[in-house]
Amino acid sequence: MSTQRFPLPDVGEGLTEAEIVEWRVAVGDTVAVNQVVVEIETAKSLVELPSPWAGTVTALLAEEGTTVEVGTPIIEVSTGAPAEPSGPAEESEGSGSVLVGYGTGDGGTGRRRRRRGAAPAPTPAATPAPTPAPAPAPAPAPAPAPEPAPAPVVAAAAEPVGPAIEKAMASVPVVDDAAPSGTGRARVLAKPPVRKLARDLGVDLGTVHPTGPGGIVTREDVVARAEAAKARTLATYPDDDQPWLSSGAVSQDGRQTRVPVRSVRKRTAEAMVASAFTAPHVTVFHTVDVTKTMRLVERLKTDRDFADVRVTPLLIAAKAALLAVRRHPEINASWDDEAREIVYKHYVNLGIAAATPRGLVVPNIKDAHALDLLGLATAIQDLTATARAGRTSPADMSDGTFTITNVGVFGIDTGTPILNPGESGILAFGAIRQQPWVHKGKVKPRWVTQLALSFDHRLVDGALGARFLSDVARVLEDPAHGLVWG
């Protein structure tokens, strides 16, 4: 029997650990090469991992909700079958097995794996071949009757392994074997979609009262349990629904909740501490009349070319930052501490800080400098939607060169943003408010915002930072500058 263990890979740059979010397979399942077997949560994204082998799952080596270090085995897959005796041991199509190639490690022969639920082939010990004897031999002691196998929860598949089985499995209830044996906890029957719903809602299936036929937990059961839990939470915190407490442990007196620091929050904390105490931050500010930008935004909203994208002042601010980088390319750099070199980037991967239910993430738009305004609008829309859905890949957050954080969406005027590690500048875009402003010698109501630029003073001198921010402001004051500088 050939058994393979799949270690947790590094799916990002320098990833050291990840959390097991959801197993897509169970012990005894048959898996194909590149079939998704588990969903993990890295520092800032959810990643689906495929199986590198075809075979049968023999063990899940990490429980859901646990954090595993890179290189630690997380799943065990049997990729072969016991050696068959010589002679008529080749199994026919109807024996319930299929041949599966497994590279050259088996000497070029196919290794066998059994379909889920197929009856095992008889072994010589179980069905000895009769041998003629010239004289009767003493009767051997009767062999103990084999212990009957437990009835399978899922019927045996009668079709080849493939998408059809995966589709069929979505409607078949499976047993929740997560509870350790001997704990007295009842085994839970639930269909995979119901199990996923329970996970999404933070509901422990073991606490749900099943109402489905045969003791199956239904979708309605899970929703009812979640609503009941929410009602208890609101009873404790009547003024606020606090989902961020759901993974914590409440103290005995109910006055504290301790939540483990994981994934996004953990990596954000590490990155911000490293950035704040490595790069010497300097922040400069500028208050800007953006009335013409607001007029341009309103015109673009009625432009048929922009009908399928969301147009906001952030789009113009992003374009202004890209134009300023073109005029001052030396700001688009990073500091290589080990090599003691400054690395100047001849491309702009523009990061957009996005607040998500899982925390702050900063995916970036690759080669944003090469996009026109419509392409930039589409990229920002896709980037933020993917981030809020928790599907940003590690690659989308690597190799950023400059970042914009839109604090204005929260009604904040400005701030002193901390640099994204590996970058030399970050622009904070504040709330846009109508204020009295001196325009052409008269006080008039104008749309005004505040900009803040933080930069790494090892790379960017004060004069360069000031000129860069001034150019961003000039485009926001009069977007026509974009035509001249573009």
Give the helix/strand (H/E) hosting 451.
strand 442-456
> b/e map of 135-170 (b: 16 or more CB within 10 Å)?
eeeeeeeeeeeeeeeeeeebeebeeebeeebbeebe
457 is catalytic: yes
d(CA 110, CA 114): 13
Closest CA to 195 of 205, 186, 185, 187: 205
At 180 the three-state DSSP class reads: coil
- For residue 316, the Cα-to-chain-centroid distance in whole angstroms is 29
Query: Tell me, what DSSP letter sits at residue 388?
Result: H
The token pair at 3 is 């058994």
425 Cβ contact partners less than 8 Å away, ≥ 6 residues apart? 331, 332, 402, 403, 419, 453, 454, 455, 456, 460, 465, 468
Strands (E), 264-401: 281-289, 333-336, 341-344, 350-352, 354-356, 359-361, 364-365
Q: Which of 281, 286, 328, 457 is catalytic?
A: 457
> b/e map of 463-474 (b: 16 or more CB within 10 Å)?
ebbeebbebbbb
d(CA 412, CA 382): 24
The token pair at 219 is 């979708």
Catalytic residues: 457
